[in-house]
Structures are given as structure tokens and as C-alpha cells.
């Protein structure tokens, strides 16, 4: 197994990921509206919401890709915008839309990423080979990334995000465009990563995967955090059996579902 330990720099009493009164405004609209968030070290935290709820904008501000209108965000003791280099040392990011060096092979991309993070060459080669094997990319390691399918690009981007073993990992829709076999490989890798003490913030519309993987879930709507609990706690609070049902109840999706059913019932055959 490629991951044998995680350098865990956080005091367990302090959050590994946090935001305080975080706001991002686009024109007159608040995409994120005064968000306070605290993810504890070692959590697999699911950040859920409908399209436009503010999930991706939140992640982009925490990792330093988008400057907040106001408020703060950070990793451990470091403010993202006051100590950007310290934050970048401690995070791996798999964005929903990722840009890769398409003229590199898969193996070269991982070698380059490891070198950028200062991983010793011998260790980097061992990690690269292990990750390629774990993600079923060994046979394609010598192919250009530009020739990869979307699912393969997703897997090589995840390998690049994880090769330096950052203590915090951000994943935005990591299973989109990934087949069932690859999805299982990714789930096993991520579960192992958190078992060793890493913190993962995970945004996805795949509710069954959220239910399987996440230890705690926050549901956003209109840039605000509506509710936050364990998967079991959410289901209990909403009086439902699944996280998907809890999510729909939290964001008011039941009303839309009723309107849809009423429309079909009222439409002529």
C-alpha cells in the first residue's frame, strides 16, 4: 500500500479546515454568505448542496484559488490568504474541472508533481508506481495525459493530488465520469487515506457514495450552511432512511417533486 503514514501537523483540538464569516459576492449575489465551517482532523467531510449552492466557491476560497469578498478561511493554524505557501504545503486538490499537463505521460505527471513538492526521487518513484497500480493505470503510464479518457484523467489527477501525502485533501466531484470499477478503487484509496489520519473535504452529487464514505455532512443552500451532522444523525433528524432523502428534505426538494407529480397527473393523456 502506497500510503503508510500521514504527516499530521494539527492539534486535534483545532480544526483542520475552517472558515469564519466567509463571503463571496458576484455582482449583487452572495454565492457564499457568511459561512462558518470547522472540519476536524481525520474527518471525511461531505459538503453537499444543489447546483449553485456555493460548494465549489467555498472550496476554491479555502484552497486559495478565489479571493473572498470578506471573511477568512484556512488550514490548521494558517490563514489561506496570509500564509498561502504554508497552506499549499498541506493540501491536495482535485477540482471539478482540472487542467493537466497534457503533453506529459501519466508517469511523468506524477514525477513532476512529486518533485514540485520536494518528495525525494527514490520515494517519489515508489509512490508513483504504487498509485498507478492502485488506480489501474499501470498499462497507460507511458501514454500522454492528453490521450486519456475523462475517467483516466480523473484518476491521474487524484494520484497527483495525493502523491505528496498532504494531510488535507479537497475533492470536488471525484467520481464524475468514472466507471464502477474505478470508483471502487478510488473509494478504497480514500478510505485508507482517512484511516491514517488525513482529512478529506468531499463535494459530490453521488448521495450513496456520500453515505458510504463520509463521517460528517454539511448541507449548503444559497451560500449558507443549513444543517450539519453525521449521516445517521441527519437521517434521524429528518425522519428518513437515506442521506439522499435527508438532503432532499433539507433543501426543500420534496415540494418540487410534488409539483412535478401534480403536473403529470393534471396533464392530458
- Check if the beta carbon of residue 18 is closer than 8 Å to that of residue 74: yes
pLDDT score of 144: 96
Is there a contact between 219 and 251 (Cβ–Cβ < 8 Å)? yes
Question: By C-alpha distance, which of 76, 78, 129, 74 is closest to 107?
Answer: 129
Q: How far apart are CA 194 and CA 153, in angstroms?
A: 23
What is the fold of 1-90+166-269?
A: Rossmann fold (3.40.50)
Query: What are the beta bridge partners of residue 141?
Result: none
d(CA 27, CA 23): 12
What's the CA gap between 60 and 66, in Å, rounded?
5
CB 185 within 8 A of CB 136: yes
In tens, the pLDDT along 95-139 reads 877 778 899 999 999 999 999 999 999 999 999 999 999 999 999
For 10, residues 6+ apart whose C-beta sits below 8 A from its C-beta are 16, 41, 76, 77, 167
Q: Where in the chain is the domain with CATH 3.40.50.300?
A: 1-90+166-269
Q: Is the pLDDT of residue 269 over 60?
A: no
> How long, in residues, is the chain?
269
Residue 1: pLDDT above 70? Answer: no
Taking only the tens place, the pLDDT of each residue in 179-225 is 888 888 888 889 888 888 899 999 988 898 899 999 999 999 999 99
Region 244-269 average pLDDT? 65
Asked if 257 and 244 touch (Cβ cutoff 8 Å), the reply is no
Given a contact cutoff of 8 angstroms between Cβ atoms, the answer to whether 106 and 132 are in contact is yes
3-state class (DSSP) for residue 177: coil
Please state, in angstroms and rounded to a whole number, the distance separating the CA atoms of residues 252 and 267. 24
Residue pair 142/118 in contact by the 8 Å Cβ criterion: no
| For range 244-265, the mean pLDDT | 67
Q: What cell was used for 172?
A: 470536488
Instruction: Examine the pLDDT at 83 and tell me if it is beyond 60.
Output: yes
Amino acid at each position: 500500500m502506497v500510503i503508510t503514514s500521514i504527516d499530521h501537523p494539527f492539534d486535534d483540538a483545532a480544526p483542520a479546515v475552517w472558515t469564519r464569516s466567509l463571503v463571496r459576492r458576484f455582482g449583487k449575489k452572495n454565492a457564499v454568505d457568511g459561512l462558518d465551517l470547522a472540519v476536524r482532523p481525520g474527518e471525511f467531510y461531505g459538503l453537499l448542496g444543489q447546483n449553485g449552492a456555493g460548494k465549489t466557491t467555498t472550496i476554491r476560497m479555502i484552497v486559495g484559488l478565489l479571493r473572498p469578498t470578506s471573511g477568512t478561511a484556512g488550514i490548521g493554524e494558517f490563514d489561506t490568504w496570509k500564509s498561502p505557501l504554508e497552506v499549499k504545503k498541506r493540501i491536495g486538490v482535485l477540482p471539478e474541472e482540472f487542467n493537466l499537463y497534457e503533453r506529459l505521460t501519466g508517469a511523468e505527471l506524477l514525477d513532476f508533481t512529486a518533485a514540485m513538492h520536494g518528495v525525494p526521487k527514490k520515494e517519489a518513484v515508489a509512490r508513483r508506481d504504487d498509485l498507478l497500480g492502485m488506480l489501474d493505470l499501470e498499462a497507460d503510464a507511458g501514454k500522454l495525459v492528453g490521450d486519456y479518457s475523462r475517467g483516466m484523467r480523473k484518476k491521474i489527477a487524484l494520484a497527483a493530488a495525493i502523491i505528496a501525502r498532504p494531510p488535507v485533501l479537497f475533492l470536488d466531484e471525484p467520481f464524475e465520469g468514472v466507471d464502477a470499477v474505478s470508483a471502487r478503487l478510488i473509494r478504497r484509496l480514500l478510505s485508507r487515506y482517512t484511516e491514517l489520519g488525513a482529512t478529506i473535504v468531499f463535494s459530490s452529487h453521488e448521495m450513496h457514495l456520500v453515505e458510504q464514505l463520509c463521517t460528517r455532512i454539511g448541507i449548503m443552500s444559497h451560500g449558507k450552511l443549513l444543517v450539519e451532522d453525521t449521516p445517521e444523525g441527519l437521517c434521524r433528524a429528518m425522519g428518513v432512511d437515506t442521506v439522499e432523502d435527508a438532503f432532499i428534505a433539507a433543501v426543500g426538494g420534496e415540494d418540487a417533486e410534488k409539483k412535478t407529480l401534480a403536473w403529470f397527473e393534471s396533464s392530458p393523456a
